[in-house]
Amino acid sequence: MALPASNLNFNNHPNNDTSEEDEDWELLLDLESTLSRNPNNNSIQLILDNLEDFNQINQNYSVNNQSTTHLSNLLSTSNTNNTQNNDSEVLSKSDIQSLLNINDDYNVSLICPICNKSLFNNDSNAHSSILDPNIQSCCEKFFKKINKISSYKISYWFYFLNNHYKTITTFPNLTKSFFYSINGIPSQLRSKIWGLILGGSDKFGNLKNKWFQDLFNNLNDDNSPYLRIIINDLNRIFPNLHYFNNELNDGQLNLKKILNAYSIYDSEIGYCQGLPFLISILLFHFKNNSITFLSLTKIFENNKNKNFKKIFDKKMTGLSLWFYQFDSIFAKFLPDLYNYFDLLKIDSKIFLSQWFLSFFAVSCPFQILIKLFDLMILEGFQPTIFKISLIILKKNENLLLNIDNEDIEVIYQHLLSENIWGVFNNDLNLILNDLINIDNNLISFQALEDLEIEFNKKNVSIKEENKTINNNTNTSNTSTSGGYYESPFVKFFRYGFTNTVYNQVPAKNQNKPHTQSTDSITESSVDSNFDAYSVSSHSSNSSNSIKRYHQKSVSSVNNNNFNVNININGKHQLMSTLNSSNTSIITGPEPNNLNSFDNSLEYNEMFGSLPQPNLLKVGNNGHQKSSSVFSVNSSFSTVSLNPSTPTNFYEVKQKMKKQFKLKEMELKNQIESLDSKVQIFEQIIHDDKQLIKKLFKLYLKSSKDVDESKITEKQRIKEYKVLKEVQQRIQI
Amino acid sequence: MSAPRSSIASDTPRFAQFKLVLLGESAVGKSSIVHRFVKDQFDEFRESTIGAAFLTQTVLLPNNITIKFEIWDTAGQERYKSLAPMYYRNANCAIIVYDITQESSLEKAKQWVKELQRQANQDIIIALAGNKLDLAESDPSTRKIKKEDAFTYSREENLLFFEVSAKTGEGVKNIFQSIAKKLPIDDFKPASSNANLRNSRHNLGVDLSRSSINQSSCNC
């Protein structure tokens, strides 16, 4: 096997009997320097990038200046591990040795490297370490061997558990070789390793932020609106695993609590089918609700994973970006297959949506999946998911290219089924080998970010293109003039990139100059609650853009929901105005704010068309809009107009103002009429009160008369009538 | 081929391929219906569908007609709705599934009918299928949607209507057979002229079973 990690022949290494920890450290450094001479050493960048972000540390930690680091240094520095009480305590080697001797159901991930078969039938056997009676000799030998882990492997994990940050940055190549080799991570330590990297637990496997326990419990006091669907799904997550296959088992009970808590905690995502695969794999290892919950939040909080979170949100807004990024990388990585798919009009989104949203859990054998998760956790989710997708396509390339042209559905069927893993013949080594050999520059965080910028720019240019088409053909754009509105996603799938697709510009890119726009005019400041109109003009030679931020002028409109409604009403009106002058309009609510009006609007209306955050950016005149605009609760409209009719914008604005005024008048009239009615009723009530007072006096007088027995028959009748009237009056 | 080619005789082998899409609320049993139809299997616990799954199955009609269904089995959760057009685009027929023990699922099914009538192929054949009949049969109190109500609705909207059980298999084949009979027969081509049937047998030569985790023996 050509795995670079095999440069490290663990078994032939002179067994280091010395108990001097510094010597172990030196030994690991030697190994590291051997590995770093490997031509693949640029590929550690993903690990370091990802790690840096997970720990939110901006130190420029140089990997090359580590040769003099000693154990004493290592263990005394607690810069990254924010464990409150445990900093001074250190896991000893014997602790780790004893940890390694624990047999538990993490064994389920053990695979014999010789025959590539899983050592245990199922997770319950793995839990009790019951080997299959029919086990082959190679597997049995292997099982005995892994129980005796060579000493420097122990040293490495000893350092790792005590200070994973420093260990990884000091030995990135060694780390990589451990993570990329079969059984490179001792399965007994896996949960601790994941917990440390994700920041969910400390080196002892305890919850890192104690208060999260309370938060978790508090969240579970309520029932999520998603609870019904969560319960429906509980027995549909890894039904082959003993831990999850019974509703009375811990697995399902805990999973329910975590999903319930998380869907309340994170209203942007709520509950999304697909996510339970991630959560259940974490839970299966942590076996602790709060740690799983904390790790999950840390994954999504990580800035590097910002687009990862978005693929699960309510409108799956991040998915179209992922498709774009992946397609670009795919075209570079496997041009033949890419062109072939293009020729057959195969829509890669169809299988990519399954792969991305399920972490391959739908098709991937479980023990391989765990190994893939090691890498996702170490190197970041998006790059690793992309890498895995690429090697699947690469491995299947020959098969796919040799299918008859007409048989598109065979290709789809193949790519959506577990058959994609068949080419690896269930051989984890092959997968890992392919993964480690991918040029990481293709999918580095920087590369992904560049593609994101490109994606956002492309949306702008596509929009301009659409506008040009509209001008030329004198037909109106279906997306803006149709009777109904489609979500950006529906559009994306329907028309691919010919229509505009929303994606949010990352905050840090706000400052980069826009490529196309040369002249920009900015008017008025940006308020935290604003309507923005952007007029971008376009001609054959130059493109000017006029951006205008229109501070909300209608003082009575403070409510977000109301605001959005008005936007949409305004859109209808805008469209009728502008269609006659060959312009396209892009209008829509601000995407960050979707949740707040999710319930108040029809799905289609909400995404009537797409907002273009790029257009909000002010050009070269230095008046930069702050990135906070994207986080405030606001909505905006964007209007693109033809340069020859710039006054249209003002007409539109005037019309909208008129519309508002008319509405205002209408409402005022209504209020007035209501007021007058109220007055009438008050008058009636007043009159009644007067009458009752009168009658009551009369009654008192008459009752006196009764006492004195001086009432005549006539008086009685009169009194009776009066009382009758009182009763009637009261009834009315 | 010995079959007469002059006119479309009743016994001329003919073949046609149609795209079918399954839609409906989450956990109503779309995948289970497909698996009952394609593999004649039922798993009590089936992993939720993410994105979509794709399967094919052929149906033999009288008069030597073979119909191959390309079945797109979609994810049911609301937020996956935006992915659906990708799958129902160009579909010839659709099965919209609801759960007769789940009141909300018929409402959701009606939404799908509306969406298909508005946005899918003009002549799409839509079947409405109420699943989990076995539950209602073993315990009538679990039934939340009356057969008559769903039937009346399907009449109004001109849909095929079935109540089925993917668990027992009751009525499942019937859906596909009935759809097959309604498909436009003019499109059918003589089987000999169409390579698809042969190609559809084309196996990629790989058959990895998901049960690898359960494999006990190794062949080294």
Query: What are the C-alpha distances in Å from A272 to residues A244, A352, A357, A500, B78?
Result: 19, 17, 9, 25, 9
pLDDT tens-digit readout, B76-88: 998 999 899 999 9
Q: Is residue A475 part of a domain?
A: no
The answer to whether residues A282 and A325 belong to one domain is no
The answer to whether residues A433 and A384 belong to one domain is yes
Residue B208: which of A136, A418, A493 has the nearest Cβ? A418
CA–CA separation, A185 and A126 (whole Å): 17
A98 membership: H or E segment, kind and range: helix A93-101
Only one residue has tokens 């033999």, namely: B60
CA–CA separation, A481 and A478 (whole Å): 5
Q: Average pLDDT in the A8-29 region?
A: 56
Nearest CA in chain B to A235: B45
The most confident of A41-45, A183-187, A604-608, B159-163, by mean pLDDT: B159-163
Q: Average pLDDT in the A244-272 region?
A: 91
Residue B13, pLDDT > 80, answer: yes
Q: What pLDDT score does A347 carry?
A: 92
Residue A642, pLDDT > 70, answer: no
Identify the residue among B42, B111, B202, B212 best suited for mutation to test binding to A, counting A beta carbons within 10 A and taking the highest: B212
Q: Is A229 within 8 Å of B26 when comparing Cβ atoms?
A: yes
Q: Is A409 within 8 Å of B26 when comparing Cβ atoms?
A: no
What CATH number should be reported for the domain holding residue A278? 1.10.8.270
Q: What pLDDT score does A568 carry?
A: 37
Q: Is B70 within 8 Å of A422 when comparing Cβ atoms?
A: no
Asked which of A301, A329, A344 is the last residue of a domain, the reply is A301
Only one residue has tokens 């050509």, namely: A2
Q: Which residue has the higher pLDDT, A84 or A30?
A: A30
The answer to whether residues A231 and A342 belong to one domain is no
**Which amino acid would we find at residue B80?**
Y
Q: Average pLDDT in the A334-341 region?
A: 94
Least-confidence region, from A431-435, A607-611, A669-673? A607-611
The answer to whether residues A321 and A295 belong to one domain is no
Q: Which residues of B touch A121 (CB under 8 A)?
A: 214, 216
Least-confidence region, from A31-40, A240-249, A434-443, A525-534? A525-534
The answer to whether residues A275 and A369 belong to one domain is no
Q: Average pLDDT in the A41-51 region?
A: 72
Least-confidence region, from A131-140, A197-206, A260-269, A451-460? A131-140
Mean pLDDT of chain A: 69
**Which amino acid would we find at residue A384?**
T
Q: What pLDDT score does B179 carry?
A: 95
Q: Which residue has the higher pLDDT, A190 or A722?
A: A190
CA–CA separation, A648 and A651 (whole Å): 5
Asked which of A381, A416, A443 is the last residue of a domain, the reply is A443
Q: Which ipTM value was assigned to this complex?
A: 0.84
The answer to whether residues A244 and A325 belong to one domain is no
pLDDT confidence tier of residue B119, bands split at 50, 70 and 90: very high
Q: Which residues of B touch A316 (CB under 8 A)?
A: 79-80, 82-83
Q: Is A232 within 8 Å of B77 when comparing Cβ atoms?
A: no
pLDDT confidence tier of residue A60, bands split at 50, 70 and 90: very low
Q: What is the DSSP string of A357-379?
A: HHTTTTTS-HHHHHHHHHHHHHH
Q: Is B83 within 8 Å of A353 when comparing Cβ atoms?
A: yes
Q: Which residue has the higher pLDDT, A466 or A565?
A: A466
Q: Average pLDDT in the A184-213 region?
A: 88
Q: Which residues of A touch B207 (CB under 8 A)?
A: 419, 422
Residue B54: which of A108, A407, A409 has the nearest Cβ? A409
Q: Is residue A57 part of a domain?
A: no
Q: Which residues of A touch B86 (CB under 8 A)?
A: 347, 349-350, 493
Q: Average pLDDT in the A442-446 region?
A: 89
The answer to whether residues A333 and A426 belong to one domain is yes
Q: Is B87 within 8 Å of A350 when comparing Cβ atoms?
A: yes
Q: Is residue A566 part of a domain?
A: no
Q: Is A493 within 8 Å of B86 when comparing Cβ atoms?
A: yes
C-beta separation of A113 from A183 below 8 A: yes
C-beta separation of B62 from B10 below 8 A: no
Identify the residue among B34, B48, B97, B105 best suited for mutation to test binding to A, counting A beta carbons within 10 A and taking the highest: B48
CA–CA separation, A662 and A651 (whole Å): 16
Residue A426: which of B49, B118, B208 has the nearest Cβ? B208
C-beta separation of A629 from A616 below 8 A: yes
The structure tokens listed for B95 are 């099965």
Q: Which residues of B touch A114 (CB under 8 A)?
A: 220
Q: Average pLDDT in the A468-483 region?
A: 43
Q: Is B217 within 8 Å of A122 when comparing Cβ atoms?
A: no
Q: What pLDDT score does A87 carry?
A: 47
Residues 6+ apart with CB under 8 A from A721: none
Pairing of β B160-163 and β B125-131: parallel
pLDDT confidence tier of residue A509, bands split at 50, 70 and 90: very low
Residue A427, helix vs strand vs coil: coil
C-beta separation of A157 from A96 below 8 A: yes
pLDDT tens-digit readout, A372-385: 999 999 999 999 99
Helical pair A381-401 and A335-344, crossing angle rounded to 10 deg: 70
Residue A61, pLDDT > 50, answer: no
Least-confidence region, from A347-351, A365-369, A452-456? A365-369
Q: Which residues of B touch A361 (CB under 8 A)?
A: 47, 50
- Nearest CA distance, A366 vs chain B (angstrom): 7
The answer to whether residues A347 and A429 belong to one domain is yes
Q: Is residue A242 part of a domain?
A: yes
Q: What range defines the domain where residue A401 resides?
A: 317-443
Residue A527, pLDDT > 50, answer: no
Q: Which residues of A touch B75 (CB under 8 A)?
A: 273
pLDDT tens-digit readout, A546-567: 333 333 333 333 333 333 333 3
pLDDT confidence tier of residue A226, bands split at 50, 70 and 90: very high
Q: Average pLDDT in the A706-713 region?
A: 60
C-beta separation of A444 from A49 below 8 A: yes
CA–CA separation, A109 and A102 (whole Å): 15
Q: Is A272 within 8 Å of B47 when comparing Cβ atoms?
A: no
Q: What pLDDT score does A440 carry?
A: 83
Q: What pLDDT score does A39 carry?
A: 58
Q: What pLDDT score does A149 carry?
A: 60
Percent of chain A whose pLDDT exceeds 70:
58
What CATH number should be reported for the domain holding residue A357? 1.10.472.80
- Nearest CA distance, B40 vs chain A (angstrom): 18
Residue B53, pLDDT > 90, answer: yes
C-beta separation of A375 from A367 below 8 A: no
pLDDT confidence tier of residue A284, bands split at 50, 70 and 90: very high
Neighbours of A727 (CB within 10 A): 10
The answer to whether residues A213 and A266 belong to one domain is yes
CA–CA separation, A69 and A465 (whole Å): 58
Residue B220: which of A114, A121, A238 has the nearest Cβ? A114
- Nearest CA distance, A96 vs chain B (angstrom): 28
The structure tokens listed for A447 are 């590369």
Q: Average pLDDT in the A623-627 region?
A: 36
Residue A414: which of B27, B75, B204 has the nearest Cβ? B204
- Structural domains in chain B, CATH included, are 14-189 (3.40.50.300)
Strands in B25-117 per DSSP E: 52-61, 65-74, 93-99
- Nearest CA distance, A86 vs chain B (angstrom): 39
Q: Is residue A225 part of a domain?
A: yes
Q: What pLDDT score does A520 carry?
A: 34
Domain count, chain A: 2
Phi, psi of A138 (to 5 degrees): -65, -40
Residue B23, helix vs strand vs coil: strand
**Which amino acid would we find at residue A373?**
F
Q: Is residue A118 part of a domain?
A: no
The structure tokens listed for B169 are 């298999």
Q: Is residue A66 part of a domain?
A: no
CA–CA separation, B40 and B71 (whole Å): 15
The structure tokens listed for A483 are 């009777």
The answer to whether residues A418 and A322 belong to one domain is yes
Q: Is residue A226 part of a domain?
A: yes
Q: Which residues of A touch B50 (CB under 8 A)?
A: 273-274, 277, 353-354, 357-358, 361-362
Asked which of A427, A443, A459 is the last residue of a domain, the reply is A443
Pick the closest to residue A135 from A105, A109, A108, A115 (CA basis): A115
Q: Which residues of A touch B21 (CB under 8 A)?
A: none
The answer to whether residues A356 and A390 belong to one domain is yes
Q: What is the DSSP string of A222-276?
A: S--TTHHHHHHHHTTSSTTSGGGSSTTSHHHHHHHHHHHHHHHH-TTT---TTHH
Identify the residue among B15, B30, B38, B83 best suited for mutation to test binding to A, counting A beta carbons within 10 A and taking the highest: B83
Q: Which residue has the higher pLDDT, A77 or A273?
A: A273
Q: Is A357 within 8 Å of B219 when comparing Cβ atoms?
A: no
The answer to whether residues A326 and A297 belong to one domain is no
Identify the residue among B17, B19, B50 best suited for mutation to test binding to A, counting A beta carbons within 10 A and taking the highest: B50
The most confident of A44-58, A232-246, B65-79, by mean pLDDT: B65-79
Q: Which residues of B touch A118 (CB under 8 A)?
A: 212-213, 215
Percent of chain A whose pLDDT exceeds 90:
23
- Greatest CA span in chain A, whole angstroms? 131
